[in-house]
Structure 1
């Protein structure tokens, strides 16, 4: 407990949190930890929220290796290693410290102890950012704690009141993250509880409608059917319950897709279904032609027409149509619709989340919305697909994907928030001291970069869209088509 109170340093706190987590995991030793229950929980929450900034300011952010605490350096690298190795190890240990704090809170949440303390709205808001980066990949971090809370009635009540948590769970459920299934579990638990269903339905419905055709995900078979049942649980009464017209339309679309169309197609002969497939193929060819002529809106309408006709059993064809329509939405600068269609395409893929083009398109759409983590995960999956599909041993990673990875890795770095806060503080000191504040060249460059980025917001939000070459091709095709139309009219 003395170590947890921070009597020495964050390195010792890491040991203390891990030890207390192990003790709290077992029935025989839980009560010994529970004697300090309130203090343990408060300290674990505080440490989880502040540890990254502490480690960055006191160690990782100290670029002069001679000014780092030698005691910490020796612990991290056993005295052998340069600053780069120390940075990597410091990042790893900081991530472990944060994740073990959440694990300690998990031990109390599992027993439904002190939920009112753990579920303070201020902490829940900060919890969403505790995902551990790519360092501590074996820990579900924030979503693991949220799912434990969703297993209890009181926990669901607190989670339902946090709009930020709900939105982050929804984003996770429509991602290629390893913990996607946990996000879906949380949403299903909230939807199936009558006390929380109507508080969160209007937010959740617009996300999970894209997952209704999901097949198996990990060890969860027919997950799309489970989601459909949760959405249509009280569909006949929903016209009274839900006033939002967009939500009403979403429910109607699910009903038409999963109930009405399925019934109609079961009664159709194989010949009739084959006729539909041929017609869909012709419409798709028209849509592709329009797309390459630069008539994006017209192509989008044709892809929609093809989707309305395409039989539900033709999953591969529908996957391609959704993915192509997502590309149209991207070019029309509509990231929400692009994410929706890409997600539907990935749900239809076998296995789920394995269609490379859809992954790349959704990665771009998430980038447009500033959702760096989701964009990064999709881009990594896209590159994995490129590597697996490589015929030769030497696989060339596309330049545009490498750029996206570089951009999002920087944005999702474990210490990104601490770095931003520290840089902003240094910039303020420079301004207040009117140039008297001394900082090294690296700090000056970072301060100047931050100033330029804040003045030019377009630089911050500029997404990495489709390759410039493709865009130029589309523009040239559009100009040629316009000239042809003018020539014919003359």
Structure 2
């Protein structure tokens, strides 16, 4: 399609009689006459080949966007008119490429989506006007990805309404297969057909639709990234409408697609989007979905990572994992993978309006703990059994013991914990990292549960030790516990930073980026230099088109040999702002080298590094 669509001028032209007549109709003061004229015009519009149709549709789209609840145009046949115009554009290629008709299917589908977004009765009228089949043709990519975006919007609104969902039944398989294909391939498609091209190679009508004729190369890239994210989000929402009604689950629960869902992030600007995790959560509320997900380690790992991150959708991942644990069919398939992760969250308080979520997690994990104590043979691995025993001791037996202690005994425990903490810090600065881990662990065992701030410091310090020992899982676990104790309102900054580093060690750029962003929020305007560099790295690694760009380079390397682009050129192609990196000179160079030595787990820690921000905390509590 890209090579065959001509460049179309968007310069202003003089209105002809038909266009002038339509806008005169809108200014008609007699209601009955106005309605009759509008109805007649909408009936005649698909039959005429008028170069001013685009201007009229643009005006109708603005009306639909600003007044989506106004029944005037829906009652006068606008849906039938738009359906016929879309069908004409799909079937009559010569007409589509004349004048500015290439814009017509886009605006027509957008008008349908704008009127069906809220009103069920409008959605019914749209279905009766036979809009589903023309929208489906756009969804299949009969024109381009730009039209797919607005077709998805309209079909998603129709599917979300109970009154019109059944109207899609006849096209269910086609819709689901098309939506799955778009969700999996849209980022590569947008990159190959637009973002990765030079300005002169891009279709002009795409550029005009993206920027409304304003802005340059950078704005086009930003809008294309936003629209690509919407393509993916809307296709997932359309699938969600079927999945929540337990329709076509066999199609949706294909292994390859479930694995692809883990990488469908949804973007930071749209936290309400179902995204990949959201659709997985929906599937976890169905028996077939739970059984399919329980057998895929890659999907479970992704859910575990998000459940212990600063992602807006953390609650979705936690809910998914708990659904898997509450199902007796899938519980024993996933318990060894999930239990150690959820055990770090048992002291989580409120999240997304849900109160005492940590207690709910604890009840789910310890649901059949009595069987472990009674049975010599356990269905759990030794690691899971040990973790559940530790959880039982922390949240049940230890609470009961501390209730029976006198004030004097509690003070003695606090003092002993403080002494052990100081010994751990002393060992850390002496380069004895393993010994420091042991001391901090002993201090945690003696520290009273009510001393939340002290426990935050101990967990965070031990996380730093694990980072130096290259034990990323231990660092993530301890940093998560510290953050659960500190609460979402005022998260512990150093624990966010340490967990971000640990996720980076594991290669999880998105989770690392989310923690880094949350850490920057705690620092306000004063962002340390090494954090700026780290943030820039994660932004580049988790860019929406990072995978598509990599595939594009690989394809062109095979065709044309090695392709070399400077870092500056790559950033320009990405169309994103970036932090200017200062050269490594003087004090900053020395600090950077010391940071690297720490991240690699070197045993010797210099005096300057001891005083740096990301060393362990001695007496913060």
Aligning the two structures, in what range does the TM-score lie when normalised by the shorter sequence? Answer: 0.7 to 0.9
Partners of 2:167 and 2:607 lie apart in 1 by 73
- Are 1:415 and 2:545 counterparts? yes
2:520 is the counterpart of 1:383: yes
Aligned partner of 1:348 in structure 2 is 485
Give 1:212 shift: 1.4
Compute the TM-score of the two structures, normalised by the length of structure 2: 0.69
CA contact 1:150–1:156 (8 Å) conserved in 2: yes
* Unaligned ranges ≥5, structure 1: 388-394, 447-465, 479-490
Match of 2:54 in 1: none
Find the partner of 2:163 among 11, 22, 28.
Answer: 28
Unaligned runs of 5+ in 2: 1-135, 571-590, 609-621
1:242 Cα offset (Å)? 2.3
Task: Count how many residue pairs are aligned between Structure 1 and Structure 2.
Answer: 445
Q: Could you say what secondary structure the match of 1:74 adopts? A: helix
Q: Which moved more, 1:201-210 or 1:212-221?
A: 212-221
Other-structure match for 2:3: none
Name the residue aligned to 2:618.
Answer: none
* 1:190 equivalent in alignment to 2:300: no
- Per the TM alignment, residue 153 of structure 1 is displaced from its structure 2 partner at its CA by 2.0
Instruction: Give the Å deviation of 1:215.
Output: 1.6
Verify the 8 A CA contact 1:346 1:359 in the aligned structure 2: yes
| Structure exhibiting the larger radius of gyration computed from Cα positions | 2
Partner of 1:65: 199
1:278 alignment partner in structure 2? 415
Q: Hey, what's the Cα distance between the residues in 1 that align with 2:394 and 2:244?
A: 38
- Are 1:133 and 1:413, in contact at CA under 8 Å, matched by a contact in 2? no
Query: Which of residues 364, 368, 384 is equivalent to 1:234?
Result: 368
Match of 2:433 among 275, 285, 296: 296
Q: What's 1:178 paired with?
A: 312
- Partners of 1:283 and 1:303 within 8 A in 2: yes
* 2:144 aligned with 1:9: yes
Name the CA distance, whole Å, in 2 between partners of 1:178 and 1:140.
11
Partner of 1:402: 532
RMSD between superposed Cα atoms in Å:
2.1
Aligned to 1:453: none
Q: Does 1:201 align with 2:201?
A: no
Cα deviations by residue, 1:305-337 (Å, 9 ceiling, x for unpaired)? 100101111111111100000001111111111
Q: Does 1:424 align with 2:554?
A: yes
Matched, 1:311 2:448: yes
Give 2:172's aligned residue. 37
Partners of 1:284 and 1:241 in 2: how far apart? 36
Q: Note the 1:322-337 alignment, pairs <5 A.
A: 322-337=459-474
Q: Deviations over 1:109-168 (max 9, x none)?
A: 111111111111111011111112334443130111111111122221222122221111
Write the deviation string for residues 163-206 of structure 1: whole angstroms up to 9, x where unpaired: 22111111111111111111111111111111111111111012
Which residue pairs with 2:233 in the alignment? 99
How far apart in 2 are the matches of 1:13 and 1:427?
30
**Structure 2 SS opposite 1:187:** helix
Superimposed CA distance per residue, residues 75-94 of structure 1 (whole angstroms, 9 cap, x where no aligned partner)? 00011111110000000001
- RCO higher in 1 or 2 (8 Å CA, sep ≥ 6)? 1
91-100 vs 243-252, which deviates more? 243-252
Aligned position for 2:279: 145
Q: Secondary structure at the match of 1:313?
A: coil
CA shift in 2, pair 1:372/1:444, >3 Å: closer
Query: 2: CA distance between counterparts of 1:325 and 1:234?
Result: 31
**d(CA) in 1 for partners of 2:539 and 2:445?**
39
Alignment check: 8 A CA contact 2:294 2:333 kept: yes
- Asked if 1 retains the 8 angstrom alpha-carbon contact of 2:237 and 2:274, the reply is no
